[in-house]
Amino acid sequence: MKLARKLAIALILGVFAVVAVHAYTRVRRLVALFETDIRHDSHVYGRVLAAAVAEMVHADGRERARAVVQLANQRENHVRIRWVSLDVPADSADAPAAPRAELDPVARGEEVVLRLPRLDDVHEEHLVTFVPVVAEGGGSLGAIELAESLAGEKQYVRTALFNTFLANLAVALVCGLIATGLGVWFVGRPMQSLIAQARRVGAGDLSARLALSQRDEIGQLAHEMNLMCDRLAEANARAARETDARISALEQLRHADRLATVGKLGAGIAHELGAPLQVISGRARMLCEDGTSPEEVERNARTIAEQADRIIRIVRQLLDFARRRGAEKSRLDLRAITRRTVSLLKPLADKRTVSIEIETGEAPIEADADAEQIQQALTNLVVNGIQAMKAGGRLCVKVHEECAAPPGDIGGDEATYACIEVVDEGEGMPPDVVAHIFEPFFTTKDVGEGTGLGLSVSYGIVREHEGFIRVDSEAGQGSRFRVYLPLCRRASPGVS
């Protein structure tokens, strides 16, 4: 309603200004007409009286002429009429009301009209007309002074201004009421509907539509807002479909990476399973031989059971790693994830004569994460390090807390993170290769060694966990990968 109120106030002020200007010009015009009327009447009356005085002075003398002037003054209630002399002292009864210097034109036979702020003891403005009285011989007999008060004019002006103010006020109020009503109906209510719709859209509700029947700019705006909601709803649906497709593709990509890793582990796992199978085979043959004592049978059976459990444990580890499932974040100790990953990859490392060392502290280092996804990311980093050491070597996996500042594309202040560090003694990478290692399908490995997905998948998993990866590598100096994950807040002492 603020816009309607502003429009109403603007209209009121505009109407008030127009009416006020009109009233002012009208009053000025009437005042000018009033004064022109006074001047005309004084001019006509003064000329007639001056001619009569001049003739009567010539015929009957000055006293008779003065009596005629006094009689005329008595008859005119609103005009004071006097016969004044121009050459008498200022304090004389026949002296004019105006200063002598302003009446020089009268002595030359010209008529003079003056506005005097006061007249004798009357503190009112007067319009005074001096009409020269010329004798028949051409000499000056003084002047007829006609003084009319302007108090009536001022009273008229005051009354006119007051009436104009009342009229202006009435017109302004009527216009204001009309403007307010029309503004609320045609502007205020539609704008409230537009504001409510904008708030619903801002809150994510795109189902509501505006129904404004106005065929003006506001109606056009409502129509465009409805079209905008339709387009946004369509864009949201398209974005949801694309997001679902992207998530599905990402899951398939990660599963493919898991299967590729399982393939890499195949030879090592086969070697790992060979030893217990040989033990089982030998013990089984011993059970089949005659003359075996009950104690040996029990011992051989126990050995077979232990080796079978070992095989089951290895196969279950491999199947758990390869199984596809949804993300399930929970509070987990990264040290346990690291140990499990290293245990899974030990056969591959042994086959390539790579020794893996684990460095962890005494205190648990916990993060809110999905255990299987973090294991997949760490597996890719460790496998990458093993493959980088073609001649064998030492690979170190460290788990600790570290203070670090997030990269610029994430932003944020420096904080303490859980850090998993993978350091190898491989060939290292030049800077131009480091710049592309997290791109999908980018690889520098030999054919059959890698798909180019491992590091890209690890990067995506860590980013989904609100973390980041940093790489330090130089050609011929090995590489160091650091995975930073947000730490879980530790419970305060005494709080369960």
What pLDDT score was predicted for residue 416?
A: 92
pLDDT, averaged across the chain: 81
Rounded to whole angstroms, the maximal C-alpha distance in the chain is 191
Q: Which structural domains are found in the chain, ordered by start? A: 2-156 (3.30.450.20), 206-324 (no CATH), 327-496 (3.30.565.10)
What pLDDT score was predicted for residue 308?
A: 79
* 69-78, 93-102, 131-140, 315-324: segment of lowest average pLDDT: 315-324
What pLDDT score was predicted for residue 494?
A: 45
What pLDDT score was predicted for residue 409?
A: 79
Rg (CA), the chain: 57
DSSP 119: B
Whose structure tokens read 């496998």?
Answer: 383
- On the question of pLDDT at 419 being above 90, the answer is yes
What pLDDT score was predicted for residue 4?
A: 67
Question: What percentage of the chain carries pLDDT values higher than 70?
Answer: 85
* 50-54, 77-81, 245-249: segment of lowest average pLDDT: 245-249
Q: Global pTM? A: 0.45
Asked if residue 356 lies in contact with residue 346, where contact means CB atoms within 8 angstroms, the answer is yes
Beta bridge partners of 144: 83, 131
What pLDDT score was predicted for residue 480?
A: 93
441 φ/ψ sector (left φ>0, alpha ψ -120 to 50, else beta) = left
Cα atoms found within 13 Å of the Cα of residue 297, Cβ hemisphere only: 8
Measured between its terminal Cα atoms, the distance across the chain in Å is 55
Q: Of 462 and 306, which is predicted with more confidence?
A: 462
pLDDT-derived band at 495, boundaries 50, 70, 90: very low
Per-residue pLDDT tens over the stretch 170-217: 887 888 788 778 777 777 778 788 888 888 888 888 888 887 777 777
DSSP 184: I
- On the question of pLDDT at 54 being above 60, the answer is yes
Provide the residue count of the chain.
496
